[in-house]
Amino acid sequence: MPGGANTRRACAWADLQQEERFHADPQDPVAGRRQESAAAASAKAQAEGWTVVIAIHDAGGNLIYLERADGTQLGSIVVAQEKSRTALMFKRPTKMLEDTVLSGRVHMMSLPGITSVEGGLPIIVDGEIVGSIGVSGVQSSQDGQVAAAGVAALSG
């Protein structure tokens, strides 16, 4: 598990309940490599001394990975998932939505299912959105750096 002994899963069921489906579809670029993406994101957070929650969704919006580092506030469990879902549903980084709100278009915050705070990124493979990652636990710009490390692991 990424993070070693100082990390635990908040919702291990996300991996366990879906495991059969993962084996049935080994071509899914996110499901098959979720550990790799999470490990890269976790390594970035640990290197910086940050404690975060990492959430990964597949293209259908199913939670396929959730990890909470020891000491991360409990509220980040929900926030990381919502950032990931927002990036998937709106097909863009949550930072773009945050910037839109900060530019004065505050009505964007009333859209259903939107979390307009940096830290959520769509995962794009061969020009297609195949999933998303959301991170919460530190400053939103730092959350964004951790999420970017997770996405970069799938790009390589």
pLDDT of residue 7: 46
Domain that holds residue 145: 4-155
- Round the average pLDDT of the chain to a whole number and report it: 85
pLDDT of the residue at 155: 76
The pLDDT, as a whole number, for residue 35 is 85
Query: What three-state secondary structure class fits 132?
Result: strand
Cβ-contact 93, 101 below 8 angstroms? no
pLDDT digits (tens, 9 = 90+) for 45-86: 999 999 999 999 999 999 999 999 999 999 999 999 999 999
- Residues of the chain with pLDDT below 70 are 1-31, 156
Write down the residue that tokens 């930072």 correspond to: 95
pTM of structure: 0.83
Question: What is the number of H-type helices and E-type strands within the chain?
Answer: 6, 5
Provide the pLDDT for residue 29: 61
The values of phi and psi at residue 126, to 5°, are: 50, 40
Task: Give the domain CATH number at 113.
Answer: 3.30.450.150
Phi-psi region of 107 (alpha: psi -120 to 50; beta: other; left: phi over 0): alpha
pLDDT reported for residue 24:
34
Q: CA neighbours within 13 Å on the CB side: how many for 134?
A: 29
- The number of domains in the chain is 1
